[in-house]
Amino acid sequence: MKEPLKLGIAGLGTVGAGLLELIAKHGPGLEETLDRRIVVTGVCARNRDKVRGVDLGDARWFDDAVALATDPSIDCFVELIGGDEGPARAAVEAALKAKKHVVTANKALLAKHGMELAKLAEKSGVSLNFEAAVAGGIPVIKMLREALAANEVKRVYGILNGTCNYILTKMQDEHLAFDDVLKDAQAKGYAEADPTFDIGGFDAAHKLALLTSLAFGTKLPADQIHVEGIQTINAADIEAAAALGYRIKLLGVAERTATGIEARVHPAFVPEGATIAQVSGVTNCVAIEGDFSGSVLLVGPGAGSKPTASAVASDIVDVARDLVLPPFLKPVAQLKPFKRANLAGHYGSYYVRLSVLDRPGAMASIAKRMGDRGVSLESIVQKKPGDADAAASVVLITHETTEENIRKALDAIEADGKVAARPQMIRIEEL
């Protein structure tokens, strides 16, 4: 039997406690499979006295994550602290420099410092594994790094944030307002007290950055991703989507184009018959389109103690098997600079909602502005206001056009003063 793999776990929150529970339950079975024991020899957290409901066994307690990361008693440092700076970054860097394998669930850290950390891992000849950083229990990182490594990926897209999917699903199914559902999500622990990172699309953007680098062999494009959140989605948009045969989802999309790679996070209309439209609640979904594999769809829990612990454990198993791969599939020196496609050239159909003031010639002016930019309309639906003095809600569905054309048309419509609020525009994705 091989020497035991000795773990140091920093962070004993939801995921850390789940990982300890998993190792306690499945450790004997893994030992038989791997011909090697997995042993937790050190742990670190902010509060030594907190009741966590798990047995720490004989693990030595460390008050400092860096001290744990560099301690001779561990072979693999498991970072579950979180955050893109501070103790998480310092400890991961220290572990890699000390030639310790690293397993992390920290998408923010990787999105910001992934290239530097990957270089350290390569220099030290150790693993930097991060399956749990994207889509919780869904093995999408392994799918890209291993199962689909022989493919040229054309597009990767999906529902990457469970909080947003929960909110949009509940708005759709229960006809509730955004603010009410957000409060419910916070009460259930699906959303933070400050939910901006989730509902603003930034969490999904960090995950998409990692998927983009793996899928297209590029350096991380975290600051090159177009990001829109779901804050502006209201009941009128949800109702219109349903009436037109669509559902609204926050999507992360990265795809090859003639001018570069489009990497974008935004709400989208998706056909209600599409599989991704049926993914509800906090569930995540990732689709990968390879030139030989075709379209591969992965659906599963995007967060939670047990699913995320399962993903962390899968990385630990790879370390136990002495499987060391470049973190981003290729060595950093072989990764190409990220070439960002001009989103203005994106070609597709759009949903537009306007609050049109009751003024002579308002609709004619709107139609002219659309025509001036070469935007043709597939359908127009006008809903009369309950109050005679209120603005009318007008929903437009365009034929395919460029993002530049639709945006310039809407800017002109707003400048004309014929609408009571900024136009709402949502891309239609025919997945």
Q: Report CA-CA distances (Å) from 361 to 194, 329, 358.
A: 43, 58, 9
Question: Cα–Cα distance between 356 and 366 in angstroms, integer?
Answer: 9
pLDDT recorded at residue 428: 97
% pLDDT > 90, the chain = 87
Q: Which two tokens stand for residue 142?
A: 């392994």
pLDDT recorded at residue 386: 57
Angle at 207 between CA 45 and CA 154, to 5 degrees: 155
Q: Go through the domains of the chain in sequence order and give each one's CATH number.
A: 5-133 (3.40.50.720), 140-301 (3.30.360.10), 347-428 (3.30.70.260)
* Intervals of the chain under pLDDT 70: 384-389
Q: pLDDT tens digits for 331-386?
A: 999 999 999 999 999 999 999 999 999 888 888 999 999 999 999 999 988 876 65
pLDDT recorded at residue 254: 97
Full-model pTM: 0.94
Give the CB-side neighbour count of residue 32, counting CA atoms within 13 A.
3
The residue from 107, 207, 219, 418 that is catalytic is: 207
Q: For the beta carbon of residue 243, count every other beta carbon within 10 angstroms.
A: 10
DSSP notation for 191-242: S-SS-HHHHTSHHHHHHHHHHHHHHHTB---GGG-EE--STT--HHHHHHHH
Residue 296 CB-density burial (10 A; 0-12 exposed, 13-18 middle, 19+ buried): middle
**339 counts as catalytic:** no
Report DSSP state, residue 336.
B
Give exposure, 339-374, as e/b (b: 16+ Cβ within 10 Å): ebbebeebebbbbbbbbbeeeeebbebbeebbeebe
Q: Find residue 427's DSSP bridge partners.
A: 268, 350
Residue 136 CB-density burial (10 A; 0-12 exposed, 13-18 middle, 19+ buried): buried
- Three-state DSSP state, 369: helix
